[in-house]
Amino acid sequence: MKFGILLKESPYNYQAFDSVYNFANAALEMGHEIIGIFFYDDAVYVGNKYLEPPQGERNIKSYIHALKSKGVRLVICVAAGKRRGLTQNTVSESAEISGLGQLLELSIESDRLITF
C-alpha cells in the first residue's frame, strides 16, 4: 500500500511527529511505500536546519535524515514556512520546500493520506 502523510503539529509541542516517524518506519518495514510527508502549519519547524536539541532530548534533525535515507520525500509547505521565518536557505538538506500542489500530488499518488 502507498501512504502519504500530512503533519500539521509542531515537533516539540505534541507527539504527532513521533507518531509519524514511528508509523513511517513500521510501514516501510512491512513492505509498504511512503510516497512522502508534507509538513504544514507548525510542522514546518521540522525542516529547520538550525535545530539543535539540548543534550538528552530526541534529535528531530537526525530523524528526518533517517527518513530521507530510506527514500521518503519530505516536503515543507512554502507558505507556512515563510510565515514562520523558514526560507530555502534555512531548510534542511533532507527536505524540500514546495507549495500545496505537492500535497495534492501526494494525495493523488497514495492509496491513503493520513493526517497527524
pLDDT, tens digit (0-9, with 9 covering 90-100), for 53-88:
888 888 999 999 999 999 999 999 999 999 999 988
Third-level CATH fold of 2-115? Hypothetical Protein Ychn; Chain: A, (3.40.1260)
Catalytic hit among 77, 78, 86, 106: 77
Where do the domains of the chain lie?
2-115
The tens digit of pLDDT for each residue in 14-51 reads 899 999 999 999 999 999 999 999 999 999 999 999 98
Query: From its phi and psi, is residue 19 left (phi > 0), alpha (psi between -120 and 50) or beta?
Result: alpha
The cell numbers describing 92, all together, are 534542511
The cell numbers describing 46, all together, are 521540522
- For residue 54, the model assigns a pLDDT of 87
Its pTM stands at 0.94
Active site residue 78: no
